[in-house]
Amino acid sequence: MNQSSRSGFTLIEVMIAVGILAIGIGAILSAENNSLNVTLRAKRMTIVAMLAKNSLIEAERAISGKSFTEVKEEESGKFDAPFQEYSWERKIKEITFPNILDQSKAKKDEVSKVDENTMRVVKIATSYLSKASREITITIKWTDKKEEQKFVVSQYWVDLDHAIDINPTE
């Protein structure tokens, strides 16, 4: 039989074709796996963001209408089903505003330009803002691939009904 009249593929040609096909299928499977991982992570982050938002709303409800001394500074717990794998922590802390006209930090020539009444007003405003403002921090925790993960979000709360102390000590 004449070599040139023979039709079909040699073993080496078939092996090369199978190798190319295997590399192509492997690349497709890898891309699909990465796509699935990204989708699952996006779903988890959507759930965590929703839980954090709901926790901030609950913190707002807990604080609303109360003075800061009536509210627990720290609380924690677990979410109900179907989110039982997530836990939360809430911390409420006072914000300390600096006195922007503090004479010990200002330059001497700038201090001389500021009169006593201005210093007093700034001191009252600084004291009021420090006592009337709080930072609420919500931390959502969960375990993923045997590692603890967390998502932290903060919100600032100002109690505009807080009494103004016209004789601050600081």
Task: Please state the rounded mean pLDDT for residues 78-84.
Answer: 93
Residue 166 lies in a domain: no
Instruction: Judge whether 16 lies within some domain.
Output: yes
Within a domain: 170: no
Given a cut of 90, is residue 36 above it in pLDDT? yes
If you average pLDDT over every residue of the chain, what do you get? Answer: 84
Predicted confidence (pLDDT) at residue 76 exceeds the cutoff of 50:
yes
- Tell me, yes or no, whether 1 lies in a domain: no
Position 105 in a domain: yes
Kindly write down the DSSP assignment for every residue of 99-138, as one continuous string. Answer: -TT-TTTS-HHHHHHS-HHHHHHHHHHHHHHHHHEEEEEE
Structural domain span for residue 48 = 9-158
Residues 96-150 have pLDDT tens digits of: 888 777 655 555 555 556 677 888 888 888 888 888 888 999 999 999 889 999 9
Long-range contacts of 44-50 (CB under 8 A, 24+ apart): 44/142, 44/144, 45/151, 47/83, 47/86, 48/86, 48/140, 48/142, 48/151, 49/151
Residue 165 is assigned to a structural domain of this protein? no
Domain-located, residue 135: yes
Residue with tokens 């074709």, as numbered in its chain = 17
Query: Number of folded domains in the chain?
Result: 1
Asked whether residue 3 is assigned to any structural domain, the reply reads no
